[in-house]
């Protein structure tokens, strides 16, 4: 499988190419045809979410530098920013519950030391174990949700890159050669 053609911007930056100026101009027009020409816009739900807004600004800068700040990518970029924010929220919750388990362990140790009755100690130990199991189950659920969100982010990242690459692959490397009229006349066709 041949590799995809270099974008016109790369050809111009390199300053050398075996392509004619006419071929480069046609490729440039074809590349421009893969974009809508309308600027990418931040959706209100992204703008109102601090983490998502920050991610949108970061991606906007990158897409502007790549000349891909186009409305074609708007739904994907906005969705990506929101999922990124959800991941941050889940990570914060996970840390909170993890810290809570530490506090409960420490407080349980201090309470156990003060209890003299074996029965009370056993009842407290059972209750503590149940609560710790619930917290651990909650942490595992958060981790599973976080992994699902991270997988979504990965899929969006991969697809977004593949979409840009696919747009470039749709542009032919070389212009189709037309038949030479003199050769056609000589061949008798």
pLDDT at 143: 95
Within 13 A of 181's CA, how many CA atoms are on the CB side? 0
Taking the C-alpha atoms of residue 123 and residue 47, their distance in angstroms, rounded to an integer, is 50
The domain spans of the chain are 1-33, 34-170
- Predicted local distance difference test score (pLDDT) of residue 47: 96
By C-alpha distance, which of 9, 12, 21 is closest to 164? 9
Read out DSSP for 98-128?
Answer: HHHHHHHHHHHHHHHHH---HHHHHHHHHHH
Q: What is the pTM of this model?
A: 0.67
Alpha-carbon gap, residue 128 to 120, rounded angstroms: 12
Predicted pLDDT of residue 2: 61
* pLDDT at residue number 126: 92
Regions in the chain scoring below 70 on pLDDT: 1-12, 31-35, 161-179, 189
Whole-number pLDDT of residue 163: 65
pLDDT at 6: 65
Q: CA–CA separation, 66 vs 34, rounded Å?
A: 14
């Amino acid at each position: 499988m041949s590799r995809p053609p270099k974008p016109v911007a790369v050809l111009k930056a390199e300053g050398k190419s075996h392509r004619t100026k006419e071929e480069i101009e046609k490729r440039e027009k074809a590349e421009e045809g893969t974009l809508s020409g309308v600027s990418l816009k931040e959706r209100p739900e992204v703008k109102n979410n601090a983490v998502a807004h920050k991610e949108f600004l970061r991606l906007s800068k990158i897409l502007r530098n790549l000349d891909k700040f186009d409305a074609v990518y708007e739904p994907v970029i906005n969705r990506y920013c929101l999922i990124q924010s959800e991941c941050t929220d889940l990570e914060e919750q996970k840390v909170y519950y993890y810290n809570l388990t530490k506090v409960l362990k420490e407080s349980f140790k201090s309470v156990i030391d003060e209890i003299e009755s074996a029965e009370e100690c056993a009842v407290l130990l059972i209750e503590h174990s149940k609560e710790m199991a619930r917290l651990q189950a909650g942490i595992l659920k958060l981790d599973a949700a976080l992994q699902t969100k991270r997988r979504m982010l990965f899929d969006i990242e991969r697809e977004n890159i593949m979409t840009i690459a696919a747009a470039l692959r749709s542009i032919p490397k070389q212009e189709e050669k037309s038949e030479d009229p003199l050769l056609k006349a000589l061949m008798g066709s």
